[in-house]
Amino acid sequence: MLALRLYGVKDARLEQVDEPVVSPGTVKRRIEWAGVCGSDLHFYAGGPSVPADQEHPLFHEQGPHIMGHEFSGIVTELGDGVTGLSIGDLVAVRPNVWDGTCEACLRGEPNLCDNRGNIGYDGGGGGFSEFVVAPQENVYKLPASFDAKLGALVESLTVAWRPVRKSGAKKGTTALVIGAGPIGLGLLLCLKAVGVEQIIVSEPGASRAALAKQLGADVINPMTTDVAKYAIEATSGKGVDVAFDASGFDENTLPSAFGAIRVAGTVVVVARFHGIVPMDPKDFLFGEKTITGSYSYTDQDFREVIEAIDSGRLDPMPLVSSTIGLDEVMTRGIEHLLGDGRATEVKILVSPSLHA
């Protein structure tokens, strides 16, 4: 089958590899659609998460590994002992794996497992291919209201769902989202899905700002507007209840989120920062403000996103900006997003059955 494998820094190759084989407790799926994620760009530009000559402790496979971890598929084969799934079912895959035995797992935080890993960059195949075999516990049968494109969007929405859940946002909450990339726009959709009505989005890029506005946000440009000042004025001088940094762009974004929240408000870090951010700790004391992070997701987050989409409260389809074939995943996908595409694309979906 055709697959995109990451060999090293800026060395990803589309090539023929053996089809994966089912074993007891696993499910084989034909890939329908797979999303290109910021993490794919991160590992392509910086090199594989696990060096090619080492094995991830839960996958026991040496690289190069197949890329792509946001994908939907149709079940084509079931391993011995698999129950509750049938050939032909449309499924989504939760790509993260955990050991179930470390302290974090036993505390109920498997997303923070000592041995965590991901299908699609640490081993176990990936979405930029034609077939994947994964453990049944990672495979979610989708309700009849889903089509395969929607199924491929569940994973990236779940990355946004968890921080919204952790923030406690609900009807009546006021919110600020910094950055309207795929995760920031996902935060906007998830906030709306839990009933939040007043959502300010800070985004300098014109096309992403326009999409955030279309999706119901009050959009400001941080290059021309003081974000914290605006958020305080827009909430009658109080500050917003919750703020999310989905940008991580520079040392200004997080302090502006912190300056925008009310006393006892919460900032959730969702972005991958590339440097140190100076903070003034007196606000933690005198304002009893909280700063926390949200990393990956759990089974609960994944199930709640599927339920929210099924019920109609969450519709991520407006985030799809392009659909391309697997044979174009480098040129019109990863390399495009690392270049001009960043300004115009949000979510690019890739299918092995589309051809250039």
Binding residues (CB under 5 A) for Zn ion: these are 98-99, 102, 105, 113
Between 74 and 104, CB nearer to Zn ion = 104
Identity of the residue, 98 or 131, whose beta carbon is nearer to Zn ion in the bound complex: 98
CB of residue 116 to Zn ion, shortest distance in Å: 7
Which residue, 99 or 283, is less far from Zn ion as judged by CB? 99
Question: 245: helix, coil or strand?
Answer: strand
The secondary element (H helix, E strand) that includes residue 92 is: strand 90-93
Residue 108 beta carbon to Zn ion: minimum distance, rounded to whole angstroms: 11
Tell me the C-alpha distance between 20 and 76, whole Å: 12
Q: CB of residue 138 vs Zn ion: minimum separation in angstroms? A: 15
Hey, what amino acid is at 107? Answer: R
CB-count exposure of residue 146 (10 Å: 0-12, 13-18, 19+): buried
Using DSSP's 3-state secondary structure scheme, residue 90 falls into: strand
Task: Identify which of 271, 284, 252, 47 has the alpha carbon closest to the alpha carbon of residue 163.
Answer: 271
Closer to Zn ion at the Cβ: 115 or 344? 115
Which has the closest alpha carbon to 192: 345, 346, 315, 321? 315
Nearest residue (CB) to Zn ion, 105 versus 291: 105
Find the shortest distance in angstroms from Cβ 26 to Zn ion: 20
Closest by CA to 305, choosing from 104, 164, 180, is: 164
Residue showing the smallest CB distance to Zn ion in the complex? 113
Q: What's the min distance (Å) between Cβ of 57 and Zn ion? A: 10
